[in-house]
């Protein structure tokens, strides 16, 4: 059974076909990478899976349930967590509260009355969610930053926090959009370690869109390669490295600025 299946997805913007009949499958507990040169349509496809774009054709299934035109917040409630290429932390809230919001969103229902009246129910729910948030804080190694404003965190820690925030919603699938941007190589490595733990220890399936080939090769069990909106190859990292179509897409044209992408860190 697959956690996620994006089937024959085509996305057009006016005359431009950004994604052309691409199919991607994330098996239960899988760790899938989605790579490709700049402009290959990775982010567009990713956004269709996350619910920020509706595909022109094709469908998206989550745990065999069609979610093609479901809004982003509803997908999140089904168990799809995500991070953003451009950090989207709750900047003025504390690190702890960032996690707390996420835990509460998944764990407790909207109940403004017990909030306003400060009913006992509210406090028991808060205590429960605070436990989840504290455990996450510990797992991320961010206890020292508990009361810091999220906006004051350095990028490396901010990326980790954003991942942890999504994890607090107890997702079965994590969508990660270029998590290594802004990180140096050590930070990227550490982030990769964390991702592996998320995948192996927590059993969460991951779909990773990434530029940093070292990271992708290191952590992903299976890769899909997009070029000009088409899926040109799929396989294990070792197979992909040897695939002639992939080599052509990345290295074929010297004048293409993306030629440098695989070497880029």
By CB under 8 A, name the binding residues for other proteins: 50, 71-74, 76-77, 81-82, 84, 88-94, 96-98, 100-102, 104-106, 108, 110-112, 115-118, 122, 125-127, 129-130, 134, 147, 149, 165-166, 169
β-partners of residue 24 are: 6
With vertex at residue 139, the alpha carbon angle to CA 138 and CA 145, rounded to the nearest 5 degrees, is 45
Residue 230 CB, shortest distance to other proteins, in Å, is 28
Structure tokens at 130: 């605070």
User: Please, which residues have CB within 8 angstroms of residue 116's CB and are 6 or more apart in sequence?
Assistant: none
Q: At what angle do helices 155-167 and 120-140 cross, to 10 degrees?
A: 130
Residue 209 CB, shortest distance to other proteins, in Å, is 15
Q: Could you tell me if 204 and 167 are in contact, meaning their C-beta atoms sit under 8 angstroms apart?
A: yes
User: Please, which residues have CB within 8 angstroms of residue 93's CB and are 6 or more apart in sequence?
Assistant: 101, 149, 150
Residue 219 CB, shortest distance to other proteins, in Å, is 22
Residue 17 CB, shortest distance to other proteins, in Å, is 22
The Cα–Cα gap between 24 and 65 comes to 15
Cβ closer to other proteins: 32 or 99? 99
Cβ closer to other proteins: 10 or 134? 134
Residue 181 CB, shortest distance to other proteins, in Å, is 16
Cβ closer to other proteins: 166 or 215? 166
Cβ closer to other proteins: 130 or 259? 130
Cβ closer to other proteins: 1 or 110? 110
Q: Could you tell me if 100 and 147 are in contact, meaning their C-beta atoms sit under 8 angstroms apart?
A: no
């Amino acid at each position: 059974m697959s956690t996620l299946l994006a089937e024959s997805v085509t996305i057009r913007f006016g005359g431009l076909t950004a994604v052309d009949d691409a199919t991607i499958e994330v098996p239960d507990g899988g760790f899938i990478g989605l790579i490709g040169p700049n402009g290959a349509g990775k982010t567009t496809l990713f956004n269709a899976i996350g619910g920020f774009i509706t595909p022109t054709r094709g469908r998206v299934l989550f745990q065999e349930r069609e979610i093609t035109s479901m809004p982003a917040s509803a997908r999140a409630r089904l168990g799809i967590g995500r991070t953003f290429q451009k950090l989207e932390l709750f900047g003025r809230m504390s690190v702890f509260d960032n996690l707390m919001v996420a835990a509460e969103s998944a764990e407790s229902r909207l109940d403004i009355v017990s909030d306003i009246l400060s009913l006992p129910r509210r406090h028991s729910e808060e205590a429960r969610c605070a436990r989840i948030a504290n455990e996450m804080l510990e797992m991320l190694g961010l206890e020292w930053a508990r009361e810091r404003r999220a906006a004051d965190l350095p990028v490396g820690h901010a990326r980790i926090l954003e991942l942890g925030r999504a994890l607090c919603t107890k997702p079965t699938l994590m969508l990660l959009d270029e998590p290594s941007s802004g990180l140096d190589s050590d930070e990227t490595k550490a982030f990769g370690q964390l991702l592996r733990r998320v995948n192996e220890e927590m059993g969460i399936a991951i779909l990773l869109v990434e530029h940093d080939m070292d990271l992708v090769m290191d952590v992903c069990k299976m890769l899909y390669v997009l070029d000009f909106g088409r899926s040109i190859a799929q396989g294990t990292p070792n197979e992909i490295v040897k695939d002639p179509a992939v080599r052509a897409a990345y290295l074929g044209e010297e004048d293409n600025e993306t030629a440098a992408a695989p070497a880029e860190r």
